Amino acid sequence: MSDQLPSKDVDVLLSAAVAAPSMHNTQPWRFEVEGHVIDVYVDGSRALPAEDPTGRAMRIAAGAATFNLRCAAESLGYGTWFGLAPYPRDEPDLLARIVIEPTADQDDELRDLARQIPHRHTDRKPSDDVPLAEEARVELMQAAYAEGAGLTWLGEDEVRTVLDLILDTDLREIHDWHRSAERSHWVGGERTADGIPSSALGPRSATYPSAVRDMATRPTDRVRQKTTFETAPDIAVLSTDFDAPTDQVAAGAALERVLLTATRAGISASFLNQPLEYDDLRRKVQALTGRPGHAHMIIRFSHHRPHTGTARRPIADFLPKEPT
Ligand SMILES: Cc1cc2nc3c(=O)[nH]c(=O)nc-3n(C[C@H](O)[C@H](O)[C@H](O)COP(=O)(O)O)c2cc1C
């Protein structure tokens, strides 16, 4: 085995990693490659201090990137060993260390999921009112479980409560200028490297509150086309038993495993995370699942297949700068 991963393999691995979802498409990760080890760090310069003051969303994004990296490694014929947040006290920014080595013992499921990475996009369009098949729900629960998280489907009453919590969040946000300034920095317009372009916002909902998060901040986006969203959305909550940094990174890996599994089944997803950005409402969301734990994502699944993605920065941006 050579001492270094071939650079074309590193390109494939990192391109897969950065295709992961991140809040507002901030892409808050950076990588260091040494021999056959890839370290995934959080990039504090991409933080969202108003909407994600504790950095939980950044750790979820890094966990999702780590999962993509593992899938891509399998697609190249490697196997992986990994540790999440291995040195939380001494190196809190190091969120995953992945050892990538040739193996005869491939993970076929991860190799298969790697094919879905370019097709997964957040889909903020309405779905039909046809509920997801029970087999699909169970498969998505198993995907979360495989990465150490839980996915709980909400019943009609709980979905109504989530919509009430969304209303509650919107009322709190009305006068929160820090949040709206931060969001308008990242959302709207044409975006060629990061952030959410207007084209990915989807239509406005004709009813309120509804099972879609309207991320619009700009006057032109606020008057975009309106449409009706499904009346009985398929919503699930992704949670972990504990809430340490490692659990948040694991939640990100579970999120991406769920999303890639869904993509393979022709199911797309968007997120209604606004109540999770307030500790008291986050506890209420977790209570709706009927289990102890910590909610990380409120996911709305739909039968729609998205075609438009969001841009990513060039890979060189995520690596240490060469000395000049
Ligand atoms: C932790 C986290 C929180 C997110 N919260 C929301 C949200 O509340 N509403 C939403 O529409 N999208 C949300 N997203 C999705 C991102 O906006 C999306 O991943 C990003 O814009 C990149 O686009 P893509 O998923 O299509 O690649 C979230 C993503 C992550 C990882």
Stated pTM of the model = 0.97
Ligand 1 pocket test: which of 15, 18, 22 has the largest number of ligand atoms within 8 Å of its C-beta?
Answer: 22
> For residue 214, how far is its CA from the centre of ligand 1 (angstroms)?
12
Identify each DSSP E strand in the chain by its residue range: 29-34, 37-42, 78-84, 94-102, 150-153, 204-205, 226-227, 234-240, 268-271, 294-302
Spans in the chain with pLDDT lower than 50: none
What is the residue extent of each domain of the chain? 7-120, 134-302
pLDDT tens digit string along 174-202?
889 999 999 999 999 999 999 999 999 99
Give me the pLDDT at residue 322, please.
78
What is the atom index within ligand 1 of the atom nearest the CA of 22?
A: 31
Q: Judge contact between 74 and 110, C-beta under 8 A.
A: yes
| Max Cα–Cα distance, the chain, nearest Å | 60
pLDDT tens digit string along 15-27?
999 999 999 999 9
Give 8's contacts (C-beta < 8 A, 6+ positions apart): none
Tokens linked to 105: 């013992």
Give me the pLDDT at residue 1, please.
67
What whole-number distance in Å separates Cα of residue 315 and Cα of residue 12?
10
Ligand 1 lining (C-beta closer than 6 Å): 21-25, 57, 60-61, 121-122, 124, 196, 213, 215, 270-271, 273-274, 309-310
Which residue lies with its CA nearest to atom 28 of ligand 1?
A: 23
First to last CA, the chain: 31
Distances (CA, A) of 230 to 51, 138, 214, 235, 298: 28, 22, 15, 11, 16
What whole-number distance in Å separates Cα of residue 143 and Cα of residue 149?
9
Q: Judge contact between 28 and 22, C-beta under 8 A.
A: yes
Write the class of the CATH domain 134-302.
Answer: alpha beta
What is the atom index within ligand 1 of the atom nearest the CA of 200?
A: 26
Phi, psi at residue 49, to the nearest 5°? -60, -30
Same fold, 7-120 and 134-302: yes
What whole-number distance in Å separates Cα of residue 262 and Cα of residue 164?
27
Give me the pLDDT at residue 10, please.
98
Q: Judge contact between 300 and 234, C-beta under 8 A.
A: yes
Write the class of the CATH domain 7-120.
Answer: alpha beta
Ligand 1 pocket test: which of 48, 122, 123, 294 has the largest number of ligand atoms within 8 Å of its C-beta?
Answer: 122
